[in-house]
């Protein structure tokens, strides 16, 4: 088909128009993509810049946060140091006491002392209160940022917006902004700094630290980046140690201590003068095990670099010290005795012990059938049955395994140990299991979950290590067993000061009328005795007991006064007497004791000079023991002393005669008051003069050495020749103490006069074990808070928990701050709190002087003993079970000649005719657990402190 030229032209024009149209679309599309990509590029640039800005801002915020954390750490340290400057007598930190301490109203804290600061200037005046002490500390800060806040520490009103229900509105402390990095060249403001505000809370006992961190390296509108964090700190008064003792401390076999141990003893240049001695819990179980332990000790002494009595696996020094493996049992195979069985990265005595007795290689020991009954291990083959007390001690160690504050069990049978069928308190009701038992508590096994340590804490010593080892030899030979301190803490510290180990001496007890003593407000002792016997108080002087021995009714065996001046009670032929200390291989004195049996005493005061034996008695509430506190005479421990004569009967150690009852005997000692000479009183003169009143005045000039004799003891206008009447030496046997015992605080330590002994099956409790809801057998509700502070508060008393061969039935459970002059514990004893000992033996000071004041004796002879030690260890009154002879397959402590179950003749002597051997009842088990939440009794002068409350940590401002 042919087309006309005109049509062909039209077609060419259309093609040209179409092409042109196509070119315009492409341009539009190109421009659209150009705009799109340009926008994306701009957006990406903007986003990138924003990200960089955000990242930079976040970096500066993180740096400011770090500066705030630094401020919080500084505040925590400053609070701890400043509060420790205040030594106060009141211990119940309530709103009145806390607010008064903070703002300087110190009458609220009782008696107080203010110490110089531990760091910083020592020439500053005493602060008015805690806030002022903090201000003094912060006033010494350097590199203060000018213009960023207050220029000096300032006390002022609360910040704007602070709630009146949450904060005190006055006495806030604001500190300057302090730089923590150096300024760079040319910069005015530092890049990092912090400031602190201390805000007292409305409850009066908490201080909120408000720490603000600054990063001056980035500003907006002229202001630096800041971050604020807060945390509360509670004002407290507490001790930081499970034991603080000025005497040497001895921790024996089958004893575990959970908490820091503080030894203030420094007289290391005497015999047996190690400040601390600890015995291995695993020695004596097997001769082969003993050899393994000896090989480990030999290597540990050389390679243990930090003094924790452990060797770290893989450590370049300690790891190289692992003993060479040997075939100890002679089976031809290496024993692998020194392996990390517990998997904690260390090898110690506990690992060696488990490995030795582990028969199936599972890293744990199945206990005896008796101890696995009712536990997850029931029915399994026993692997360790050598020492039931040790097994029970380790398996019941650390009862609150999950640390939720709930632990223990209902002791249905009252034997002090968990038995099958008794309910543990920390019960998971949903799953029907005991939470602590799942974590190893009384599960019938000994393994890694028991977290064994001889001392689970730090050892602190006043003495320098070099002085100790120069005088006594290497420390590791004397301190046995693993020492496991808190994380981040060294196991041992020497040459520590009073700020770490406070001096707990009798002067810190500002009054005998503490809250505990005031709670002993029941009927008089005589009234309570008479009412239970069914007689009048006046009838007690001539009371004759008619009920037979063994009766469950109240019984009273009296001791008469010495009216015939022969140095013995007038009924000495029938009165009960015993050697003191009770059942000791080496006695110090003899006591005639009135005996009270099967009686119940409530909030009672035991009068001075009672010196009683209480058998099977109950003491409800607070029991106060009175004594003469002015007992500093050089011969306080000698006046009235008795010994046994050749017939075995008590007789005065120094005989006396009556002067002034015959004509011509009128040359009375001139220093005696009229009330102490005839006709008011006869004069008892010693046949061997002890003091100046033993010499008639007409013989003074011719008596050689008269001036060297001490003056006589005068009290209440009378001459005292028997200080037993001015003291109290008491024994509680098979007694139940539901509450606390508190004594007066004698100035002098005289252990033969002021002594408390708890023997037999004596028990302590806060509620009656069988009648917890009986009001008459439980403490008064108003006294419960005071009782919770201390089961036993007997400053400068000698205290014996248990006897020198404690029976298995003994179960002593004490709580709170246990205060004594010197304390010995043996047998089954549990202490949840702390031991604070007051007596510091000093050569040349009483009682380490003779009658003329000359230095005698050995300060190391006084010791705080947990467990059994013997004379070779410096404990002259006790016996070392390892040295006892074996008779009939058992170790014996001596021979019983009168069928009372006690050793009358030493085991080292031949057996007397008709006597029977007295077996050693075993080491028992002693557990001392530090309680950081315990409240101390009022009257104990100790430093204040603070406790951080982790749950109160917050980020952000008020």
Reported as a single tens digit per residue, the pLDDT across 554-576 is 999 999 999 999 999 999 999 99
- Provide the phi-psi class of 326: left if phi over 0, else alpha when psi is between -120 and 50, else beta: beta
| Residue 393 burial class via C-beta count within 10 angstroms: exposed 0-12, middle 13-18, buried 19 and up | buried
This prediction's pTM: 0.86
Dist CA 942 CA 115 (whole Å)? 12
So where are the chain's domains?
64-237, 279-460, 649-709
Tokens of 23: 């070119």
Q: What is the reported pLDDT for 208?
A: 98
Mean pLDDT, the chain, rounded, equals 91
Q: What is the reported pLDDT for 336?
A: 94
Kindly compute the dihedral angle of the four CA atoms of residues 743, 744, 747, 748, in this order, to the nearest 10 degrees.
-40
Q: What is the reported pLDDT for 723?
A: 98
Residues of the chain with pLDDT under 70: 1-23, 45-58, 509-514
Dist CA 534 CA 546 (whole Å)? 13
Q: What is the reported pLDDT for 667?
A: 97
User: SS3 string of 24-80?
Assistant: HHHHHHHHHHHHHHHHHHHHHHHHHHHHHHHHHHHHHHHHHHHHHHHHHHHHHHHHH
3-state secondary structure of 461: strand
Going by DSSP bridges, is the β-strand pair 792-801/755-759 parallel, antiparallel, or unpaired? parallel
Query: Per-residue pLDDT tens for 72-100?
Result: 999 999 999 999 999 998 888 999 999 99
Handedness of CA 14, 18, 20, 24 (dihedral sign): positive
Dist CA 396 CA 187 (whole Å)? 63
CA distances from 339 to 202, 406, 585 (A): 56, 34, 42
Dist CA 656 CA 679 (whole Å)? 19
Per-position b or e across 942-954, b if 16+ CB within 10 A of its CB: bbbbbebeeeeee
The secondary structure of residue 289, as a DSSP letter, is H
Q: What is the reported pLDDT for 31?
A: 78
CB 391 within 8 A of CB 368: yes
Dist CA 145 CA 921 (whole Å)? 71
- Which phi and psi angles does 657 have, rounded to 5°? -130, 160
Neighbours of 711 (CB within 10 A): 12
Angle between helices 130-138 and 5-83 (to 10 degrees): 120
Residue of 331, 332, 349, 327 whose CA lies nearest to 340 = 349
CB 594 within 8 A of CB 559: yes
CA distances from 549 to 182, 558, 608 (A): 85, 14, 27
Largest CA distance in the chain: 185
Q: What is the reported pLDDT for 57?
A: 64
Tokens 């009712």: give the residue: 374
Tokens 């400031």: give the residue: 195
Kindly compute the dihedral angle of the four CA atoms of residues 902, 906, 907, 913, in this order, to the nearest 10 degrees.
-80
User: SS3 string of 180-195?
Assistant: CCCCCCCCCCCCEEEE
Contacts of 103-112 with CB under 8 Å at 24 or more apart are 103/128, 103/129, 103/131, 103/170, 103/171, 103/200, 104/128, 104/129, 104/131, 104/132, 105/129, 109/944, 110/510, 110/938, 111/510, 111/941, 112/86, 112/87, 112/88
Residue of 687, 669, 686 whose CA lies nearest to 678 = 669
Residue 300 is inside which H or E element, if any? helix 287-303
Q: What is the reported pLDDT for 676?
A: 97
């Amino acid at each position: 088909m042919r087309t006309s030229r005109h049509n062909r032209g039209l077609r060419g024009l259309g093609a040209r128009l179409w092409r042109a149209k196509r070119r315009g679309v492409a341009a539009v599309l190109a421009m659209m993509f150009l705009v799109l990509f340009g926008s994306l590029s701009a957006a990406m640039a903007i986003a990138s810049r924003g990200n960089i800005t955000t990242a930079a801002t976040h970096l500066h915020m993180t740096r400011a946060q770090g500066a705030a954390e630094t401020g919080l750490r500084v505040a925590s340290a400053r609070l701890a140091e400043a509060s420790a400057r205040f030594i106060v007598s009141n211990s119940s930190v309530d709103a009145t006491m806390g607010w008064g301490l903070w703002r300087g109203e110190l009458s609220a804290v009782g008696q107080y002392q203010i110490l110089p600061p531990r760091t910083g200037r020592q020439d500053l005046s005493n602060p008015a209160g805690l806030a002022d002490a903090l201000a003094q500390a912060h006033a010494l800060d350097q590199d203060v940022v000018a213009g960023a806040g207050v220029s000096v520490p300032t006390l002022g009103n609360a910040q704007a917006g602070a709630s009146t229900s949450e904060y005190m509105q006055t006495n806030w402390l604001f500190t300057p902004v302090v730089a923590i990095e150096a300024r760079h060249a040319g910069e005015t403001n530092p890049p990092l700094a912090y400031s602190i505000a201390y805000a007292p809370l409305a409850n009066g006992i908490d201080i909120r630290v408000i720490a603000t961190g600054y990063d001056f390296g980035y500003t907006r509108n002229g202001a630096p980046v800041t971050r604020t964090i807060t945390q509360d700190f509670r004002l407290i008064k507490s001790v930081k140690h499970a034991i603080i003792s000025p005497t040497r401390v001895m921790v024996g076999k089958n004893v575990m201590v959970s908490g820091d141990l503080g030894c203030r003893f420094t007289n290391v240049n005497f015999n047996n003068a190690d400040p601390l001695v600890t015995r291995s819990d695993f020695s004596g179980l097997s001769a082969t095990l003993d050899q393994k332990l000896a090989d480990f000790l030999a290597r540990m002494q050389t390679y243990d670099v930090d003094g924790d009595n452990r060797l770290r696996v893989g450590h370049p020094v300690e790891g190289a010290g692992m003993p060479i493996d040997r075939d100890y049992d002679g089976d031809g195979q290496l024993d692998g005795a020194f392996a990390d069985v517990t998997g904690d990265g260390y090898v110690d005595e506990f690992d060696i012990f488990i490995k030795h007795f582990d028969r199936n290689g599972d890293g744990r020991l199945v206990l005896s059938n008796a101890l696995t009954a009712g536990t997850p291990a029931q029915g399994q083959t026993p692997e360790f049955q050598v020492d039931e007390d040790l097994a029970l001690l380790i398996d019941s160690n650390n009862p609150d395994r999950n640390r939720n504050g709930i632990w223990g069990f209902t002791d249905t049978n009252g034997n002090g140990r968990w038995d099958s069928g008794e309910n543990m308190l920390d019960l998971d009701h949903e799953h029907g299991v005991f939470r602590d038992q799942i974590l190893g508590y009384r599960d019938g096994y000994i393994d890694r979950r028991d977290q064994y340590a001889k001392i689970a804490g730090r050892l602190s010593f006043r003495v320098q290590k070099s002085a100790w080892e120069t005088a006594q030899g290497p420390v590791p030979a004397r301190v046995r067993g693993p020492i496991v301190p808190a994380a981040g803490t060294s196991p041992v510290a020497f040459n520590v000061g009073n700020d770490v180990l406070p001096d707990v001496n009798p002067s810190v007890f500002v009054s005998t009328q503490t809250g505990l003593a005031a709670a002993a407000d029941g009927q008089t002792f005589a009234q309570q005795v008479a009412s239970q016997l069914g007689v009048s108080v006046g009838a007690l002087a001539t009371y004759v007991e008619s009920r037979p021995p063994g009766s469950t009714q109240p019984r009273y065996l009296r001791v008469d006064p010495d009216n015939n001046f022969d140095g013995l009670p007038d009924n000495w032929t029938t009165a009960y007497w015993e050697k003191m200390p009770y059942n000791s291989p080496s006695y110090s004195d003899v006591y005639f004791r009135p005996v009270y049996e099967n009686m119940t005493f409530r909030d009672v005061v035991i009068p001075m000079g009672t010196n009683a034996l209480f058998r099977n008695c109950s003491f409800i509430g607070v029991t106060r023991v009175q004594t003469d506190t002015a007992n500093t005479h050089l011969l306080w421990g000698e006046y009235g002393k008795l010994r046994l004569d050749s017939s075995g009967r008590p007789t005065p150690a120094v005989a006396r005669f009556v002067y002034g009852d015959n004509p011509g005997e009128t040359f009375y000692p001139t220093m005696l008051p009229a009330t102490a000479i005839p006709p008011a009183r006869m004069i008892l003169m010693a046949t061997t003069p002890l003091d100046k009143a033993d010499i008639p005045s007409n013989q003074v000039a011719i008596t050689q050495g008269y001036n060297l004799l001490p003056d006589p003891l005068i009290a209440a206008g009378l001459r005292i020749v028997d200080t037993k009447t001015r003291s109290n030496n008491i024994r509680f046997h098979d007694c139940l103490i539901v509450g606390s015992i508190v004594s007066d605080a004698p100035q002098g330590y005289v252990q033969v006069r002021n002594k408390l002994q708890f023997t037999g099956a004596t028990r302590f409790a806060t509620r009656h074990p069988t009648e917890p809801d009986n009001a008459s057998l439980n403490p008064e509700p108003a006294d419960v808070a005071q009782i919770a502070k201390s089961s036993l508060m007997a400053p400068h008393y000698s205290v014996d928990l248990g006897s020198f061969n404690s029976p298995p039935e003994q179960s002593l459970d004490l709580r709170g701050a246990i205060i004594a002059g010197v304390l010995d514990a043996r047998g089954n004893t549990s202490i949840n709190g702390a031991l604070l000992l007051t007596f510091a033996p000093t050569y040349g000071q009483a009682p380490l002087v003779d009658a003329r004041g000359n230095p005698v004796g050995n300060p190391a002879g006084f010791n705080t003993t947990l467990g059994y030690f013997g004379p070779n260890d410096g404990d002259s009154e006790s016996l070392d079970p390892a040295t006892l002879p074996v008779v009939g397959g058992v170790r014996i402590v001596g021979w019983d000649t009168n069928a009372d179950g006690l050793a009358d003749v030493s085991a080292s002597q031949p057996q007397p005719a008709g006597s029977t051997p007295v077996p050693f009842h075993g080491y028992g088990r002693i557990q001392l657990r530090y309680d950081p939440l315990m409240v101390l009794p009022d009257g104990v002068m100790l430093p204040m402190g603070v406790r951080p409350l982790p749950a109160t940590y917050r980020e952000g401002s008020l």
